[in-house]
Amino acid sequence: MKPFTIEPADNDSITLSGFYMRNCLDFKAEYSETTGKISIPAGTPVFDYCGSYLIYLYPWNTEDEEVIMRPIEYKYIGNNVWECNSDLMLVAIQGEEMQMSVFSSGSRIARCNGTTNNTSYVGTADEQDEYIESRPSYVTISGNNIDIYNILQADQYGYGVHLSGTIDRTAGKVWFGYTLTGQANDGNYRILTGCEYDEDTNMPTKVAYSGTNNYGKVRASIDLEKGEIAIDPMAIWVAEYSESGIMVDENQFYEFVKTVNVTYDVSKTDISAIEAPSMTNVEKEVSHIDYYAIDGRKLAEPQEGSLVIKVTVYTDGTRKADKIVYLRNR
């Protein structure tokens, strides 16, 4: 999920900022107060590459492999969520040359309903930089399943960090799974886990709950009535791929996240079935599966061990997107 902002422009339009990536162009879209539909003109410029060429956003006809000139429509589906079922393509035009890159295979817009505050540290014990940060976030709760989007700063591709977990309502606790947050330029993975740390050096020492079934998980306290979540310390570690999977290097880390506190509107977290594909897709028939690079390029055959977006397309037209490490025949 990529964070961006929407602001009113006039009576029947809105301005979208940060829709494509960091430092992209702002643009206007039509907005219907009657239906809640957001309509983005086909061919809207979304990025200016150093003044040398522009990148435009179009609906895409996958079968005929050509752009579609009708507007991109996001229909309001309830609970502050808008959905577009069209494939979207980025088109870079430089002179007479055109280059295509997939933006998304279906997408959603969700209104943030929470705020996340964190204190993080980067560097060694002797030369640590402290970062006190705050950002809007999106919290959804379905039964005992909870998801928090944009809980930490967006990665180099503009995606905010997403945590998914299970609520123990009796104890007022949440167990979140560890999550990949991207890849560094040297090819190493960035993985966010719960961690133990040394109070004297203020440095993470190892992945939390080593040797247990909760290895790497992130624990949190939750007050469901007040809409408050306090998350235990976490670290973003250097990780490598091997035949046995992702291996965390506990001697190297990118960031120590000492505190994270989330507040959210308890009246705006219940989600409808269409927003919970992991639960509703159990009985659905899969049409096909597509893979995309993190930068949006569609992949014919992902590289073994690479970080990709897996898009499962069902016969009823709905889609489910997951960020995964591609492991062939597993």
Does 330 map to a domain? no
What is the residue range of 228's domain? 114-268
Task: Give the end-to-end CA distance of the chain in Å, rounded to a whole number.
Answer: 26
Single residue among 94, 110, 126 that ends a domain in this structure: 110
Does 132 map to a domain? yes
Of 119, 122, 160, give the one whose Cα is nearest residue 253: 122
Let me know whether 19 and 119 are in one domain.
no
Q: What is the dihedral of CA 314, 318, 322, 328, to 10 degrees?
A: 20
Let me know whether 213 and 69 are in one domain.
no
Let me know whether 191 and 256 are in one domain.
yes
Does 305 map to a domain? yes
Does 102 map to a domain? yes
3-state secondary structure of 307: strand
Let me know whether 201 and 279 are in one domain.
no
Judge if pTM exceeds 0.85. Answer: no
Let me know whether 245 and 284 are in one domain.
no
- Across the chain, mean pLDDT equals 84
Q: Give 95 or 31, the one with higher predicted confidence.
A: 31
Sorted by sequence, the CB contacts under 8 Å of residue 172 that are 6+ apart come out as: 221, 222, 223, 224
Let me know whether 131 and 243 are in one domain.
yes
Name which of 85-89, 117-121, 287-291 the model is least confident about. 287-291
Q: pLDDT of 271-312, one tens digit each?
A: 432 233 333 344 568 888 888 776 566 788 887 777 777 878
Let me know whether 248 and 286 are in one domain.
no
Let me know whether 43 and 168 are in one domain.
no
Let me know whether 229 and 146 are in one domain.
yes
Single residue among 110, 125, 151 that ends a domain in this structure: 110
Q: Tally the domains of the chain.
A: 3
Let me know whether 36 and 94 are in one domain.
yes
Let me know whether 68 and 204 are in one domain.
no
Long-range pairs for 167-175 at CB < 8 Å and ≥24 separation?
167/141, 167/222, 167/224, 168/144, 169/144, 169/224, 172/221, 172/222, 172/223, 172/224, 173/219, 173/220, 173/221, 173/222, 174/146, 174/219, 174/220, 174/221, 174/222, 174/229, 175/214, 175/217, 175/218, 175/219
Single residue among 89, 110, 131 that ends a domain in this structure: 110
Most confident of 15-19, 92-96, 223-227, 265-269: 223-227
Let me know whether 89 and 47 are in one domain.
yes
